Amino acid sequence: MSRTPARLAAVAAAGTLVAVAATAATAGATRAGAGPIKIGISLSLSGDFSDSGKAAQRGYKLWAKVANSHGGVLGRKVQLVIQDDTSSPTQAQTNYQNFITKDKVDLVFGPFSTLLTAPSAAVANRYGYAFIEPAGGGPAVFQEKLHNVFFTQPAPVLQSADVFVKFLSSLPKSQRPKTAAYPSLDDPFSSPIADQVRALLQKKGVKTVYKTIYPSETTDMGPVIQKAASKHPDAIIGGTQNGDAYAQVKAMVQQKFSPKFVFLTNGPNDPAEFPSKVGAKNVNGIFSTGDWFPQEKSFGNAAFVKAYVKAYGGSSATIDPSSAEAFAAGQLVQEVAAKTKSIDNKTVISTLHKGTWKTVEGNLRWNSIGEPQGSDLLMEWIGGKLYPVYPKALALHKPLVPKPGWGSK
């Protein structure tokens, strides 16, 4: 009676081995050569990051389509090998292992989110692959000090709000805030940014009157805003994601608390959703940042927006910046190929480390560990519309200071 499980285990094990060996054999057969250029990308098509993962997928696919309609890269068609990582870092890492050692892809692009990029970049680095990644800008990615990483946004996440500080410094002294409160979300892309802004502003004499970090499941901003309001700050500077940003604004409206400045790192930068969530009359004067803007006059942006709307419908306002970031990754490969006639990973890495590169995300250049050296855009809601207002060279509207009261035009 006890022999059956043994046999079963043996059969199961043997079956696995055979299946695995069979796949191994076929995998070995496909070799890089004159065929299409294969690019492996792990994306979160299900799970927590799936919305942004799918947006990135649209950007990647759009780039491949556009590139192929112009004859591909170096005369070879581009073929994307996209795998779902279910928003799990373990699976993302597995996917990159598969791309590199099984599918023998020519290049890999990054997944969505720093949390998945950090472990994946290490895999790519081990095999000498360049890791052009659109969405991993958090400190964890750069902490490893990998030479093969290239983040395709103008600034690392941590520095993404520095532009707001620069803007405040550009104001006449009387208009600048004297006190600020920092309610932030406990999230790698939120509270560290607020911390960074706080450090910079404190140096410039802006007093911190309140600071708190709330957990991601906090959906009720009432108490937080109440406490912040009780300190009467000139500015509310929140490291936020979308949901809690909406909740913060709603709580401020409810409590009739209208500070002179409201800056939220994420949330207000969603042109389609923000007004619908907080009420169109409550958006004016709120600041946020962005790495990309539909009307931006960056390299190939107008064509990108046009092609995007044609391919996926909607309007330029509904394009998720993740799509533009992903598109930029592809642009970089095309430019390197045009310049060096090669897409060899070693060449890509050494070439990208030199000079400035034009993308829909603006002109990018990196330090030795892949941190971009540019600056994000400061966005503001004015007259019910979202405009880039700083730096001046990229601004489409004059900034509105101070914030008008809730419900006013």
Walk across the sheet containing 107-109 and list its strands. Answer: 78-84, 37-43, 107-109, 131-133, 149-151
- Within 8 A by CB and 6+ apart from 362, the residues are 154, 292, 296, 298, 299, 374, 394
Contacts of 247 (CB under 8 A, 6+ apart): 219, 220, 221
Strands (E), 77-163: 78-84, 107-109, 131-133, 149-151
Q: Distance between CA 352 and CA 135 in Å, rounded? A: 18
Q: Is 261 in the site for other proteins (CB under 8 A)?
A: no
At closest approach, how far in Å is the CB of 377 from other proteins?
22
CB of 89 to other proteins, least distance (A): 5
**Distances 171 to 8, 176, 400 between C-alpha atoms, Å:** 75, 6, 11
Residue 12 binds other proteins (CB under 8 A):
yes
8 Å CB contact between 93 and 360? no
Distance CA 76, CA 306 (A): 25
Least gap, CB of 270 to other proteins (angstroms)? 9
9 in contact with other proteins (CB under 8 A): yes
State the Cα–Cα distance between residues 82 and 44, nearest whole angstrom. 10
Rounded distance between C-alpha atoms, residue 115 and residue 133, angstroms: 12
Contact flags string 272-311 toward other proteins, x per CB under 8 A: -x---x-x--------------------------------
Exactly one of 46, 179, 318, 340 binds other proteins (CB under 8 A); that residue is 46
316 contacts other proteins (rule: CB under 8 A): no
By CB under 8 A, residue 20 contacts other proteins:
yes
Q: Is 3 in the site for other proteins (CB under 8 A)?
A: yes
Piece of the chain touching other proteins by CB under 8 A; list 136-144, 298-306, 354-362, 383-391 = 136-144
- State the DSSP code for 308: H
149 binds other proteins (CB under 8 A): no
Angle between helix 162-170 and 191-203 (nearest 10): 30
Is 172 an interacting residue with respect to other proteins (CB under 8 A)? Answer: no
> What is the DSSP secondary-structure string of 176-223?
S-SEEEEEEESSTTTHHHHHHHHHHHHHTT-EEEEEEEE-TT----HH
Using the rule CB under 8 A, which residue among 106, 133, 162, 187 binds other proteins? Answer: 187
Q: Which residues contact 18 (CB under 8 A, 6 or more apart)?
A: none
Question: Nearer to other proteins by C-beta: 21 or 34?
Answer: 21
- Nearest Cα to 60, choosing from 138, 120, 136, 132? 132
Does residue 21 touch other proteins according to CB under 8 A?
yes
Site string for other proteins, 193-232 (x = CB under 8 A): -------------------xxxxxxxxx-xxx-xx--x--
User: Cβ closer to other proteins: 69 or 217?
Assistant: 217
Give the DSSP H/E element, type plus range, for residue 34. none
Instruction: List the interface residues with other proteins, window 70-129 (CB under 8 A).
Output: 82-84, 86, 88-91, 93-94, 97-98, 100-102, 114-115, 118-119, 122, 126-127
Is 33 a residue that touches other proteins (CB under 8 A)? no
Q: Which of 246, 304, 327, 390 binds other proteins (CB under 8 A)?
A: 246
Give residues with Cβ within 8 angstroms of 229, minimum separation 6: 252, 255, 257
- Establish if 368 lies at the interface with other proteins (CB under 8 A): no
Q: How far is the CB of 176 from other proteins (least distance, A)?
A: 29
**Residue with the two structure tokens 């532009």:** 163
> C-beta of 241: minimal distance to other proteins in Å?
9
Q: Of 30, 32, 35, 47, which lies in the binding site for other proteins, with binding defined by CB under 8 A?
A: 47
Q: Which stretch binds other proteins (CB under 8 A): 167-175, 182-190, 299-307, 354-362?
A: 182-190
Least distance to other proteins, CB of residue 12, Å: 5
Size of the site for other proteins (CB under 8 A): 83
Question: Coil, strand or helix: which one is 132?
Answer: strand
Our CB check for other proteins shows the closer of 90 and 170 to be 90
- Tell me the closest approach of the beta carbon of residue 224 to other proteins, in angstroms: 6
Which residue in the block uniquely carries the two structure tokens 């008008």? 404
- Closest to other proteins by CB, 68 vs 255, is 255
Provide, rounded to whole angstroms, the least separation between the CB of residue 317 and other proteins: 16
* 17 near other proteins (CB under 8 A): yes
